[in-house]
Amino acid sequence: MIGKEKEAEIDKLPTDLLSHIFFLFSSFTDLAQASCVCKKWMEGVKQSLGRKESLSFSGYKMDDASTSRLIHLAFSVKELDISRSRWGCQITDNGLFEISMAKCVGNLTSISLWGMTGITDKGVVRLVSRATSLQHLNIGGTFITDESLFAIGNSCPHLKTIVLWSCRHVTEIGLLYLVNKCRMLTSINVWGTRVPVHCFIGLLTISPTLQIKPTGLLPNNGAIAV
């Protein structure tokens, strides 16, 4: 009887009040679990996430299911950070597949997958192929190859900056294709890649104002900045 009374009291809470409560949650895991309680709670979580234009799971211990569930509810998000930290978010290709089907993906202007060693070209290609409004992308510290760069070049014409820090499997072919296709690109970080210096000169031939980071890769000139 007591359990039923408590349940009844919870059911009396208006959705907007639930939304305010969920907005104060500091744990994304708790938020994901709350969204599974009932339709009303899911609506409350959805409304709380719907107020956010920026969503960062970096530093939180998240998995594929909970992360994708919350992103599907966050329909207004434009900046998404699922970077890996020591104890934080660890997403796989399965997670990227689920995330790619969220309504917000087509409106995302910034995505960070920094350090996500559990992902491959398969997941990245699926995600970026639907992120057609993307302007800023960080996929540094991953094992992506030219296949991902081809997909980015084909799907993200508004791309302005990209971080390929320590992406040791990308090649000259992928970089040249990317810069040729993404004509709005202003900055590219290629620190730690194995691409030869002459390739960077070729990139500047295609786009003279492109900022190639770090500056030590080429002789100092006005087209390159830190």
Q: What is the pLDDT of residues 190-216, one digit of tens each?
A: 999 999 988 999 999 999 999 999 865
**Do residues 61 and 87 make contact, with C-beta atoms less than 8 angstroms apart?**
yes
Contact (CB, 8 A) for 110 and 159: no
Average pLDDT over residues 174-185: 97
* More confidently predicted of 38 and 127: 127
Stretch 41-57: mean pLDDT, rounded? 80
Specify the pLDDT at position 221: 47
CATH of domain 52-217: 3.80.10.10
The gap from C-alpha 116 to its chain's centroid, in whole angstroms, comes to 10
pLDDT in the model for residue 223: 41
Residues of the chain with CATH 3.80.10.10: 52-217
Question: What pLDDT sits at residue 224?
Answer: 38
Q: What pLDDT is stored for residue 87 in this prediction?
A: 54
Give the full edge-to-edge strand order of the sheet including 136-138.
54-56, 79-81, 110-112, 136-138, 161-163, 187-189, 211-213
What pLDDT is stored for residue 218 in this prediction? 60
**Angle formed at CA 112 by CA 110 and CA 115, multiple of 5 degrees:** 170
**Least confident range of 58-62, 121-125, 209-213:** 58-62
Contacts of 12 (CB under 8 A, 6+ apart): none
Please name the residue that has the structure tokens 């790619």. 100
SS3 217: helix
Task: Give the mean model confidence (pLDDT) for residues 135-148.
Answer: 97
Rounded to the nearest integer, the mean pLDDT of the chain is: 85
Looking at residue 112, its pLDDT comes to 96
Q: Tell me which DSSP letter residue 101 carries.
A: T
Paired with 112 in beta bridges are: 81, 138
Indicate if the pLDDT at residue 5 is higher than 80. no
Better-scored residue on pLDDT, 132 or 56: 132
Question: Predicted confidence band at 149 (pLDDT cuts at 50, 70, 90)?
Answer: very high
Of residues 9 and 202, more confidence is placed in 202
pLDDT tens digits for 62-120?
Answer: 889 988 988 998 888 999 999 886 556 678 999 999 999 999 999 999 999 999 988 99
The two three-digit tokens of residue 30, written as one number: 């708790």
Which of left, alpha, beta for 10 (phi over 0: left; psi -120 to 50: alpha)?
Answer: alpha
Question: Which amino acid would we find at residue 10?
Answer: I
Q: How far apart are CA 41 and CA 36, in angstroms?
A: 8
Assess contact for 111 and 136: CB atoms under 8 A. yes
SS3 category, 152: helix
Q: Which of 112-116, 127-131, 161-165, 214-218 has the lowest mean pLDDT?
A: 214-218
> What is the average per-residue pLDDT within 161-178?
97
